[in-house]
Amino acid sequence: MKKNLFLLLLIFRIISAFACDLPDHFEFEVSNGDKMLYSGCYDAIHKGPHIIEYILTKERVIGESVKRPSVQFTQSRDGGVLQNLLKEHGYSLPHHNDYTRSGYDRGHMAPNADFNDTTENAVMTFFIANIWPQTPSINAGEWLKAENETRRLAIKYLIVKVVIIVDEFSEKKVKDIQVPLNFKRRVYDLNFDEPVYDVVVYQ
């Protein structure tokens, strides 16, 4: 099983390349040591992740989980690589406090609950480049349902690839952060690289 998982992860690294070639979009990865947890394409104009991708396994879903860490979202969960890259191009990352009293939740794209096998992994999801403004009703409602369905599919297919896309926006802003119109979640059975779930959650 470990050998098969290694091969699948290697295939994932090869096939998971996504379009991030716009001049104001920047690739990033978040790792715990030498273990890559999730990757993304950061939209520096709208100030959030255009794309987030990660692998979710049955073992992680059904295994023991740790308590949600009580930490703030920081700019440096990736070691500051993205923040430095943005500065080189005249951009910056938002701050945790930009969301305070805005009426919007700090909505995870790669959710804490998909990485809560260890506290260290869970903390890594609290990256300011991994969130968008979400209304509380969406964050705890339809988006949570989509996350739960993803976990169900990971159990069913043993290993899945999750892709979240945000590319449509309202005219509303939280500080300088554009508020998305919707959130797109796609799940692929990684054994055959076939789509098994596709949902758009509107807010």
Give the model confidence (pLDDT) of 160-190 as tens digits: 999 999 999 999 999 999 999 999 999 999 9
Average pLDDT over residues 15-25: 71
Task: Check if the beta carbon of residue 124 is closer than 8 Å to that of residue 32.
Answer: yes
Residue 47 banded pLDDT, cuts 50, 70, 90: very high
pTM: 0.90
Domain spans in the chain, listed from the N-terminal domain onward: 2-202
The topology under which CATH files domain 2-202 is Extracellular Endonuclease; Chain A (3.40.570)
Spatial strand order of the sheet with 159-165 comes to 25-32, 35-43, 48-57, 159-165, 182-189, 194-202
pLDDT of residue 22: 86
Query: Strand 105-108 to strand 177-180: parallel, antiparallel, or no bridges (unpaired)?
Result: unpaired
Task: Check if the beta carbon of residue 110 is closer than 8 Å to that of residue 164.
Answer: yes
* pLDDT tens digits along 57-107: 999 999 999 999 999 999 999 999 999 999 999 999 999 999 999 999 999
- Computed over its alpha carbons, how large is the radius of gyration of the chain? 16
- N-terminal to C-terminal alpha carbon distance within the chain: 40
